[in-house]
Amino acid sequence: MTVIVRRMKYGFAVIGLPVSTQSSPKSKRQYQTTVAEAASKSVASPIRDNEKIKIEIDWFSGGFQNKPDVDNIIKPIQDALKGILFVDDKQVESIVARRHDILSVIHFMREPLCLIEPLMNGQREYVFVRVY
């Protein structure tokens, strides 16, 4: 039997609609600045380059019409975290990205409360990034 125990090292919310890899360079830069600022509030220094990390991205939104595909929001977020959260992309062992429609029922089990705090505070569009 394999038992996997994960302990979240960092978790933070990025308020607003995430951008796609296909967005304009200006939009990507602006969003990456927002991601970097949110991460900087939680992270004192980058995780050493000899440590591996796993990233989980949960995108909360009221519907998904005319919004980026979930797979296309990963790279701009990962690029924004380089140098703040980790030293090199090679440290990233896995990335999981999910989107959640806040207009439907969402069930969570054994998730940290900070994952939905923005939602409880009235945010209608945000990404929550977790690092293990």
Q: How do the domains of the chain map onto residue ranges? A: 10-131
Q: Please give the pLDDT value at position 66.
A: 80
Per-residue pLDDT of the chain (132 residues; tens, 9 = 90+): 655 656 889 999 999 999 999 999 999 999 999 999 999 999 989 999 999 999 999 999 998 788 889 999 999 999 999 999 999 999 999 999 999 999 988 888 888 888 999 999 999 999 999 999
pLDDT score for 112 = 85
How confident is the model at residue 2, as a pLDDT?
57
Q: Which two tokens stand for residue 36?
A: 């970097």
Give how far the C-alpha of residue 107 lies from the chain's centroid of Cα atoms, to the nearest Å.
Answer: 19
CATH superfamily for 10-131 is Holliday junction resolvase RusA (3.30.1330.70)
Enclosing H/E stretch for 14 = strand 10-15
Angle (CA) 46 47 51, round 5°: 155
- Pure H helices in 23-121: 25-42, 74-81, 117-120
The letter for the amino acid at 100 is H
